[in-house]
Structure 1
Amino acid sequence: MSTDIASLRKSYERAELSEDASHADPLRQFEQWFNEAVAGEVPEPNAMTLATVDSRLRPSTRVVLIKGFDERGITWFTNYDSRKGQTLAGNPFAALQFHWVELERVVRIEGRVEKVSDEESDAYFHSRPLDSRIGAWASPQSQVISSRNVLVTNAAKYGAKFMLQPPRPPHWGGYRLVPDQWEFWQGRKSRLHDRLRYRQEDAPDGTGLRWVRERLAP
């Protein structure tokens, strides 16, 4: 090989992440970093890696796009019959990761996954471009197909059937990951990176759960 992979390295020196300068609420911290990624014109700041584990304990990852976040969790949309959908049906726990290379930042989120309401799925589906709505019908996601012509033929068939008003397929909709752990990673010089983890624990006054922020060694 012409490239010495072991010698590839970068010194991270753009920013720092301190307890004093971070939010006590991880959602607010994520909102700040996400907005900074958008403002910084990071390529596809909404792209996140979704990791799941199936019944055989085999992990798998894929990149999906975040479509919303609030106090309820992190939302994305997909085909429920896909590999990830089948895996989540058997094991509803997953992890998400954002990697904003240009900002030298990573956010990791873990928690339980649930389907969003039909109303939420309908609203987002009908906001999509027409080609994307037809595509949701045309693609038997994660299934083996003989050639790309299968997709082209299906798209033509469903386009003719539904014209400008394709309904949401029953096998397509949204998921929401409800976080119980967040980690914010900021690259630092000499590999002494900043890592702040937020985890949930019972509040001492018995009022429910609270977020505990703690620093992890890099």
Structure 2
Amino acid sequence: MRICFFGDSFVNGTGDPECLGWAGRICAAACQQGHDITYYNLGVRRQTSTEIKNRWLAEASCRLSSEFDSRVVFSFGVNDTTLENGKTRVDFSTSIENLSHILNTAKQMFPVLMVGPPPTPDREQNNRIARLSVEYAQVCQKIDIAYLNTFTQLQSSTIWFQEAAANDGYHPGAGGYTELANIVQSWSSWLSWL
């Protein structure tokens, strides 16, 4: 199985001293269980849904083909909701359109999963992320792609917020990413892939 993970710094695992993030951890665990996985982490710091929409297909095409059991996982949205110059980096409706475009295209070629954006220590931004996560879930439901709402589950995570606060204010360390990895690993849609 070849899996491309597309997204932002949270996919990249920024802040994790072990350089695994959640995506590396779930693939390492799957390999330890005997699954043959080639894992591509294609998370890029600060990237929005617009930037991911513009690059994912070319990057996937270099790594995935119909010869192999090829799959794609997307996870993004936090950067869309970040304020710059008094407005969000990507407006809400464009973010929804980007997700719809990405998933509709990807679904024609590969099995696809969507992992929702996690929370940040910024309360106002979390309001925007929570709204985006609800809309992302609705888009996924319409397209029939499994969606994991990590925002709600991580809201009660002490380690996620403690590590983010101790780090750069956004990204956790190994403990926070382990917690997120555990959420993804116990997700029925991920388990059904394995």
Check whether TM > 0.5: no
Using the size of structure 1 for normalisation, the TM-score is 0.21
Could you say which structure has the higher strand fraction? 1
Using the size of structure 2 for normalisation, the TM-score is 0.23
Larger radius of gyration: 1
